[in-house]
Structure formats: C-alpha cells, structure tokens
Amino acid sequence: MNGQANIFEIGFSFLRHGESEANRSGLIAGSLDVPLTDRGRDQARSAAPALAGEGITRILASPMARAHETAEIVARELGLPVEPLPGIEERGFGQLEGRPLDDRPDYFADPPGGESWETFRRRCESTLERINGSGNLIVGHAGTWRAICARIGLRPEENAIPNATPIRVAPLGMIPAWSSLPPT
C-alpha cells in the first residue's frame, strides 16, 4: 500500500447492478455477460440521487455489462468517470449458468464446472483490499456483496441485496456497520 488506508478501513459505498435480463427471467447469470433491462436502467438512474450526497469521488465497476452500464448511468449523474475493476465480476456458476435459479438450491455450494465460494470470495476480497483512499463507489453484483459481507463480519447468506440499492459500508466500530442509503 502507498500509505493510504484501504477501503475496508475507511468505508465506501456499494451498488449492485440494476435488473438484468437474467434477473427478469429468473435465470442464473454468473459469468454470462447479460445486459440490463429498461427497468434496470431506470433503477440505476433512481439510485444516483442517493449517492450524490455521499462524497463519491471515484467509481469502480465490474467490467461485466450489467454492472458497467449501471455505473455509467450513475457516473453521468455524478459527473465522474467509471474505472473498470477486474476481479469483482460475478461468480462463475459453470454448468448452471443460463438455467433457472431453482437449479441452484444453495448459493454457497460448489457448482459443477464453476467457481467455488471460497475461490470467489478470496478473489473479490483481494481485489477490494488493494483499493486505497476514500470516496469510492463499488458497482458490482449480488455475489460481490456477499463477499463484502463475509469480509466485514456479516453473514453473507442472510444479507441479500436488491438490484440498484445503494449501501454504505463503514469500518468496524462505526454504527451502523452497514446501512442502506436514504431512498430518493
């Protein structure tokens, strides 16, 4: 590190991508690069005002289309560029991708031909721990959020996040440790 605290030490904002075609269809997307729906674009536009008062100076996004487009929509509203952040892409679900969500009974089980929870969690944590400084907005996926929850001591299986819901993540010891930003 370059002397600055990483984002887990000083806090950041998180935004899951807006509704994707796979979300709307009830399918497992994983590493499939599916686009946003019109509703997902509207959700991203609606999230921007809540993020405007958060002191965001940098937007980092998963390079997957659904997250990157969400970030671009928010970035236009905030007047900031989007930086791709490889390493926080959604977990690969192998042979389950493109199949109905009911075919994945347990998110944390190892999918056939896919990425294990532990490998995915370590990938996300390692990527995020390299980010220094304050004012960061991370735009990612439900899985990215689960990995963040595991890192900050929340139970990832109990902390689902709806599409395009802004979340503030604060260091341990601050109350609340995480919270949804005010709705617009």
177 pLDDT exceeds 80?
no
Q: What is the pLDDT of residues 7-58, one digit of tens each?
A: 988 899 999 999 999 999 999 999 999 999 999 999 999 999 999 988 999 9
**pLDDT confidence of 2, banded at 50, 70, 90?**
low
C-alpha to C-alpha distance for 94 and 5, rounded to whole angstroms: 36
User: In this predicted model, which residue has the larger pLDDT, 178 or 68?
Assistant: 68
Q: Is the model's pLDDT at 151 over the cut of 50? A: yes
Q: Where are the domains of the chain?
A: 10-174
- State the CATH class of domain 10-174: alpha beta
Alpha helix (H) residue ranges in 26-116? 38-52, 65-78
Joined tokens for residue 55: 């002191």
Cross-strand partners of 136:
58
